[in-house]
Chain A
Amino acid sequence: MECHAVINSLSDYLDGQNVWISDDEAKQIETHLTNCPTCQNFKLELNEIKIAARELPLHTPPRAMWTRIANQIEAEIAAENGPLRHAQNASGWWGWLRSRRFTFSLPQLAGGAAVAVALIVAAISGIFGPHSGTLNLSGVQTALLPEEDEIKADLERRLNAVNARKAQWDAQRRAEFEQHMTRIDESLKRCRYMLGDNPKDAIQQQMVRALYTEKRQLLEDVERLRW
């Protein structure tokens, strides 16, 4: 057997002598390898590459990758199940809430009362504290999007209108609303932080816009339902 033929068959020989080449051919290759140090060397090198390939080091992606994944998943879920979709039904979000049967145990009622007290305290401290509005725009200081100031002003106006009525809500409704707002604000905070690191990151820009839209939709629903 010639060197060329042996070299061309070496991968088949290394990968499965009984699968890709016949016993007879394998014997011919072995005979050649015994007598040809050059081809033997070639075989050893290909085998080393084959073995090393299974032991390659793993690479680590940037830590921000998980944040982006989590944000996108949360945004997708929110888009699928957000309040706007409920509001599009005839009964709306209010109807959805009304359709739910709330039964509370004593500990739950006690917990609810505690939440209500906490909210009242938070509202009072909000009124008299350094941040007189209750708008939480996730520590927004400088605009990261060209239209961000405009969005913030719109959200602030809507939120002020909602805040003015919030005192009349029952604890359950308030807790539901706060829960949605907190969730959006937390995501917004994470995304803005990421965007601050890389202001040209188109995905983060998209995420921030989507979250502002979600927040506006929530406030619109509350306004429209005249809570």
Chain B
Amino acid sequence: MTTDGMNNAAPTSLPASLSDYELTQASGRGDMKAFETIYERHHRRVYSLCLRMVANATEAEDLAQEVFIQLFRKIGSFRGESAFTTWLHRLTVNHVLMHFRKRGVRLEKTTEEGEIGEIQDYLQSAADRPRFVDRIALDKAISELPPGYRTVFVLHDVEGFEHEEVADMLGVSVGTSKSQLHKARMRLRELLNKKTDKKTETKKTESKK
């Protein structure tokens, strides 16, 4: 691929109806406009996935940028055997996991003390709980999870990977993946309830005034 080729191949505009596969083929030939269209279609999802996994905006931006550069290098190898979105998400997840490994984040051993003991506390005070999970609050709560829980939760519940796939990606057993997910949901529930309790308290205080 040459810079000439890149520019020559770039059309002035691309029909919006072009499929992801057609765009990957054009990008593989160096068509930067096609690659930009792929970016436009998928950058928010890739960035959101990175952000949810690392819980840090600067790091997420760097990772998402690296993912797209890597995507450009590898795009010619996409054969259309799976959905492009699946392929791209897998590429993103692998890149973030590689980042974790380089940074020395231990996913499988990251736990918090007292997690199961909290069930008892919950059982004693579960009568008055919210019926609606605020998505923004949930997003924030995910960022407060320990890395191990967060990764499994994002992969399974947010991105929709199966436990077998999560276990394969993280190099852990299916049992570990299931257990981490359950603990993640429990922790999220607790975090969300704390937030709701705080809101209720604030409202009560304000109404007293």
Task: Report the minimum CB–CB distance from B202 to chain A (whole Å).
Answer: 21
Task: Give Cα A224–Cα B48 distance, bound, in whole angstroms.
Answer: 49
Let me know if A70 is at the binding interface, CB within 8 A.
yes
Q: Which of B134-178 contact A (CB under 8 A)?
A: 135-136, 138-139, 142, 153, 157-158, 160, 163, 178
Interface SS of chain A: helix
B182 touches A60 (CB 8 A): no
Instruction: Give the chain A neighbours of B72 by CB distance below 8 A.
Output: 69, 73
Complex CA–CA separation, A56 to B188 (angstroms)? 14
B6 contacts which chain A residues (CB < 8 A)? 74, 77
Majority secondary structure, B binding face: helix
| A20, B178: Cα distance in complex, Å | 9
Number of interface residues of B (CB under 8 A): 54
Closest to B45 in A: A58
Q: How far is the CB of B154 from chain A (nearest CB, A)?
A: 8
Min Cβ gap A63→B in Å is 10
Most buried by B among A10, A46, A57, A61: A61
Give how many A-B residue pairs fall within 8 Å (CB-CB).
126
Q: How far is the CA of A48 from the CA of B133 in the complex (A)?
A: 6
Distance in Å: Cβ of A29 to nearest Cβ of chain B: 14
Query: Which of A20, A41, A55, A81 is within 8 Å of B3, CB to CB?
Result: A81
Q: What is the bound-complex CA distance between A72 and B35, given in angstroms?
A: 13
Q: Is B204 located at the chain interface by the 8 A CB criterion? A: no
- Contact bitstring A38-78, B, C-beta under 8 A = 1, else 0: 10011011101111111111111110011011101110111
Stretch of B13-21, B86-94, B119-127 with 4 or more beta carbons under 8 angstroms from chain A: B119-127
Q: List 9 A-B contacts (CB under 8 A).
A: A10-B182, A41-B129, A52-B133, A59-B48, A61-B44, A61-B47, A61-B64, A72-B65, A72-B69
> Residues of A at under 8 Å CB distance from B?
3-4, 7-8, 10-12, 15, 20, 38, 41-42, 44-46, 48-62, 65-66, 68-70, 72-74, 76-78, 80-82, 179, 183
